[in-house]
Amino acid sequence: MVRWLICSALLGCGSPSVAGDDVKDTSKVQKTDAEWRASLTAEQYRILREKGTERAFSGKYWDSKAEGVYSCGGCGQALFSSDHKFRSGTGWPSFYQAISASALANEADNALWMTRTEILCSRCGGHLGHVFPDGPPPTGKRFCVNGNALNFQAKEKVR
């Protein structure tokens, strides 16, 4: 409880879990290279583990308008909601915010003769894409994500 109070006061963390709450496992996922290769498709491995990029307008979900949650293709952690998806015109799924602040990790990417901010799954370290400061309100951010780094779970329709 003391850890939560410190975390809450300094970092704005969520409330502590209570016994019986529906809490997901947030422990880090660590696999050997062979285990990653066995659990991912060749394209997923190239993107998530080798920091690859799919061609624009070629990956899954770039033009999807379905409602639901996008999760990491490597470990299944929820990353983005369709509520935050927007049409950026770039050919990749784009979101203006993550599903939670703790879902993503950032890393400087100095490849291609420029500095960009790479986004990674905070749970398995899988490469997702990059974040840019040219998105819509309210955040002004554009999380440009490789569709093949994601899985999608459609929202259940209420009858």
Question: What length does the chain have?
Answer: 159
CA-derived radius of gyration, the chain: 16
* 124 labelled catalytic: no
The tokens describing 27, both together, are: 């422990």
Is residue 70 a contact partner of residue 157, using CB atoms and an 8 Å limit?
no
Do the Cβ atoms of 59 and 150 come closer than 8 Å? no
Structure tokens at 81: 């909601």
Question: Which of the residues 72, 121, 124, 144 is marked catalytic?
Answer: 144
Tokens at 9, concatenated: 């006061």
CB atoms within 10 A of CB 118: 18
| CA quadruple 50, 148, 144, 23: dihedral, nearest 10 | -100
Question: Which positions are catalytic?
Answer: 144
